[in-house]
Amino acid sequence: MGVISSLLNKTHVVMDGPTHVQKPSTQRMACLSSDISFGIDQDPSAEPKCSITPNSDTMRAIQAASHHLTVLKVPVAIPTETVYGLAAPATDPGAVAQIFSIKGRPADNPLIVHVSSRRMLLSLLPPSYTISRTYEKLMKAFWPGPLTLLFPADPSKIPSIVTAGHPTVAIRMPSHPVSRAVISYSQVPLAAPSANSSGRPSPTKAEHVWSDLGETGKVALILDGGPCDVGVESTVVDGLTSGDGSIRVLRPGGVTVEEMQKVLARDLAEGEMAPRVLVHKRDYDDLEMEQHPTTPGMKYLHYSPSVPVLLLMQSPGSADGETLTDVVKDIVSERPDDSPALKIGTLFLSDSVFSGQVNTLDDVEIIKYDLGPRGSPLVAAQRLFDGLLKLEKEGAMYIFVEGIEETREGLAVMNRLRKAAREVKWIRSSP
């Protein structure tokens, strides 16, 4: 039986007492990025050649994904460089609708469309639209990669279920060879949110997708491309609406504000000013937009494991704020007397300011996950979601996360943490 026909058999029969119960099953197929290469896009109007090692497991996995997407028209979980995505052909409203139902995602939250080439990007845009110089610079520097740009939407090309009826469509070109190869091989743009149940932390490993959507058979196929390099989602940028040439960061992500500022300050004409990069909630507010769910985390619960997350910030004054012992006492006081021993997960920097205080906590089991060295926000970003998911899986009843500096990838990390956290606690440095 060929790969494709074996994949068509999407249910298996399990013996459960005297009756046979049909249980959906999820396929997991390994993919190696080293089996995939792309030719240089010399001619921007051409599709760069995607080569996949013939007869490899990777080739079989990409063919199977393509078959699910274009023939069966069902979503597939694929790795991207940021997080795993739950992908469906962006041009097929029926397939996209399944993404919303698998995730339990509200219909008014639009999806990002993923392309594999500039040619595919252009095929989705209104014919009258001209790409701005700012966007050209950003795409040249960061595509393929973790940057999503808003473009005017053409409903004749992208159905409104993808954009949730908005006049704009969010588009990015992923750099992960597996996701890019799936798009290129299938020759179809893919709408893909993160491959998690709505509100949960984003998956950065195939096993995260498996635990959330695979075990229950909600998704037919997961391509396992190993852990994601970036670990937080793409930066979402709106360069359409400002009027003064500045760009707005709706969601900080894998491409940092500092990197974008640097690129936009290059190659300016005489007297030309670099466009400003404004970060939502830091540099500007947009009350109208905040009513809509298009700003991730504004309207809905986001990035949250099933246990409470507490964001711990070091108090600026050494005598202000609480001690970790105070925080734990509060938790204990709210628990019934017959509760099992308290297990707290800590997601702290390797050189955490709170380590000394943790060591003095009595009657608490501590499960540790290392967020990496201070001053390496790239590492914190890579480890954040894996840390939350691992501590949850290991039975932490509360997760304490150490706040980090909001520079470079730290801006995206803190954006996710503020949304994941039930509470922010200011902790004084001396117990």
Under the rule (CB under 6 A), what is the footprint of ligand TXA? 80, 82-83, 85, 109-112, 146, 148, 150, 163, 166, 168-170, 192-194, 233-234, 236, 250, 294, 296
Binder of residue 109, out of ligand TXA, Mg ion, none (CB less than 5 to 8 A by kind): ligand TXA
138 binds, among Mg ion, ligand TXA, none (CB under 5 to 8 A by kind): none
Is residue 415 close enough to count as binding Mg ion by CB under 5 A? no
Residue 143 or 348 with smaller CB distance to ligand TXA: 143
Helix (H) or strand (E) holding 95: helix 93-103
Give least dist CB 28 to ligand TXA, A.
Answer: 18
DSSP character string of 250-262: EE--SS-HHHHHH
Q: From the CA atom positions of the chain, what is the Rg in Å? A: 23
| Contact (Cβ atoms closer than 8 angstroms) between residue 253 and residue 412 | yes
- Residue among 148 and 256 whose Cβ is closer to Mg ion: 148
Residue (113 or 324) nearer to ligand TXA, CB? 113
Cis peptide leading into residue 193 (ω within 30°)? no
Give the nearest distance from C-beta 303 to ligand TXA in angstroms. 10
Please give the DSSP secondary-structure letter assigned to residue 34: G
Q: Are 144 and 175 in contact (CB under 8 A)?
A: yes
Query: How are beta strands 277-279 and 309-314 bridged, if at all?
Result: unpaired
Q: Which two tokens stand for residue 24?
A: 């959906």
The nearer residue to ligand TXA, 9 or 241, going by C-beta atoms, is: 241
Whether 199 contacts 105, CB under 8 Å: no
Nearest approach in angstroms of CB 202 to Mg ion is 5
Q: In this complex, which beta carbon is closest to Mg ion, that of residue 222 or of residue 358?
A: 222
Cβ distance to ligand TXA smaller for residue 92 or 229: 229
Nearer of residues 193 and 345 to ligand TXA, judged by Cβ: 193
175 binds, options ligand TXA, Mg ion, none, Cβ within 5 to 8 A by partner type: none
Q: Can you tell me the distance from the alpha carbon of 352 to that of 338, in angstroms, rounded to the nearest whole number?
A: 32
Least CB distance from residue 230 to ligand TXA, whole Å?
Answer: 8
- Could you tell me which residues are beta bridge partners of residue 171? 113, 149
Rounded distance between C-alpha atoms, residue 236 and residue 151, angstroms: 11
Nearer to ligand TXA, 80 or 134 (CB): 80
Task: Read off φ and ψ for residue 289, nearest 5 degrees.
Answer: -65, -35
* Interface characters, 370-409, with Mg ion (x: CB under 5 A): ----------------------------------------
CA angle (180 as vertex; 108, 127 as ends), nearest 5: 60
Sheet architecture: strand order including 342-348: 364-370, 342-348, 398-402, 309-314, 423-427
CB of 162 to ligand TXA, least distance (A): 8
The nearest distance, CB 401 to ligand TXA, in angstroms, is 20
CA distance 357 to 343: 16
* Angle in degrees, 0-180, between the axes of helices 57-67 and 177-186, rounded to the nearest 10: 50
**Which residue lies nearer to Mg ion by CB, 27 or 194?**
194
* Span from 109-117, 134-142, 186-194, 279-287 in contact with Mg ion (CB under 5 A): 186-194
Smallest distance from the beta carbon of 363 to ligand TXA, in angstroms?
39
* Calculated CA dihedral for residues 305, 310, 316, 320, nearest 10 degrees: 180
User: With contacts defined by CB under 5 A, how many residues of the chain interact with Mg ion?
Assistant: 1
- The least CB distance from residue 193 to Mg ion, in Å, is 5
Instruction: By CB under 5 A, name the one of 82, 163, 186, 194 that touches Mg ion.
Output: 194
Residue of minimal Cβ distance to Mg ion: 194
Least distance in Å: CB of 381 to ligand TXA? Answer: 12
Residue 96: CB atoms within 10 A of its CB come to 24
Measuring CA to CA, which residue among 261, 300, 302, 304 is closest to residue 279? 261
Give which of ligand TXA, Mg ion, none residue 305 binds (C-beta under 5 to 8 Å, depending on kind): none
Length of the chain counted residue by residue: 431
Greatest extent of the chain over all pairs of C-alpha atoms, in Å? 81
Binding site for Mg ion (CB under 5 A): 194
